[in-house]
A and B are shown apart, each in its own frame.
Chain A
Amino acid sequence: MTATIDSPRSGKNSSGKISPQYRRTGASRGNFEMLAWLFMRLSGVVLVVLIFGHLFVNLLVGEGIKAIDFGFVAGKWADPFWQVWDLAMLWLAMLHGTNGVRTIINDYAEKDSTRLWLKIVLYAATTVIIVLGTLVIFTFNPCPVVDGVPLPGGFCPS
């Protein structure tokens, strides 16, 4: 006769539940790390399309990088299509990159206080860049005026 030993993770031990030491999710973290893992893959696929399109249109079409100046940006952001494109690229790339650097900090910074401070700096930089970039896209003015005088190089309605 052989004894039957239930697998510890089968949920078939005497209590009918998975023993606490075998549970993979803690109460406090929830499934944040799983969502972060999923976000990296979903945003990654979208970013391949957004960034390859960005590089193609800005560097490979026409005169390439030599054509990039204030007028080039004004021409793109006159079209809501490119505003949405650049906004999506800004947010997804910053969040994807921030989560990547967060992972690297967790891997290499061994002291709790070092990890905390590096992450504070990281999240502060991320917030500043996302807010700044979003404001720039939505408040862009092709004809900037200072003290009633249009700045040189702007595109003003005649």
Chain B
Amino acid sequence: MPTKPAGTLYRGREGMWSWVGHRITGVVIFFFLLVHVLDTSLVRVSPEAYTAVIGAYKNPLMALGETGLVAAIVFHAFNGLRIIAVDFWKKGAKYQRQMLWTVLALWVVVMVGFSIRHLSLALGGH
């Protein structure tokens, strides 16, 4: 009786995990977008209502949450461009693995830069 499925090109490998990551980050971004349109809409209620609610985004816990959200957006954006390359570039499918590692490397670089800037602005007491 086989205990493990035979290896495939997709299952359990880069292709599958990038798909899982794309789905999860997509859902997270979508639900934030619903909330974000609602909170921005408070500018039509009153200036004070908007400024009060947006003030909730300006505490240390939310600063970490925003960093996580931006991490999701940046992965979804770069991996989305990779999907487009897989679909439209002649050699896209052949290099999809290398492109995923490029996506992850760029993601790390962008997120290190973003985190330093955003967290020092959001948490800094200047």
Contacts and interface: CB of A to CB of B under 8 A. Distances in A.
Q: Is the interface of B mostly helix, strand, loop or mixed?
A: helix
Given A51-B73, A104-B23, A125 B34 contact: yes
Interface of A: 41, 44-45, 47-48, 51-52, 55, 59-60, 63-66, 68-70, 73-74, 90, 93-94, 97-98, 100-101, 104, 125, 129, 132-133, 135-136, 139-141, 144, 151-154
Interface of B: 23, 26-27, 29-30, 33-34, 37-38, 40-41, 43-44, 46-48, 50-51, 54, 57-58, 63, 66, 70, 73, 77, 80-81, 83-84, 87-88, 114, 117-118, 121-122
A70 B47 contact: yes
B77 A66 contact: no
Given A60-B114, A101-B30, A48 B81 contact: yes
Given A63-B121, A132-B37, A45 B43 contact: no
Counting chain A CB atoms within 10 Å of each CB, the highest count among B38, B44, B70 belongs to: B44
Contacts, number: 107
A83 B111 CA distance: 28
A69 B41 CA distance: 13
Given A44-B84, A59-B118, A101-B27, A129 B54 contact: no
Given A44-B84, A45-B81, A69-B54, A90 B37 contact: yes
Given A68-B54, A69-B51, A70-B47, A129 B23 contact: no
Nearest to A154: B47
Contacts of A74: 43
Contacts of B44: 135-136, 139-141, 144
A63 B50 CA distance: 18
A142 B80 CA distance: 37
A66 B84 contact: no
17 contacts: A41-B87, A47-B77, A48-B77, A59-B117, A70-B48, A73-B43, A94-B33, A97-B29, A100-B26, A100-B27, A101-B30, A129-B37, A132-B41, A151-B47, A151-B48, A153-B46, A154-B47
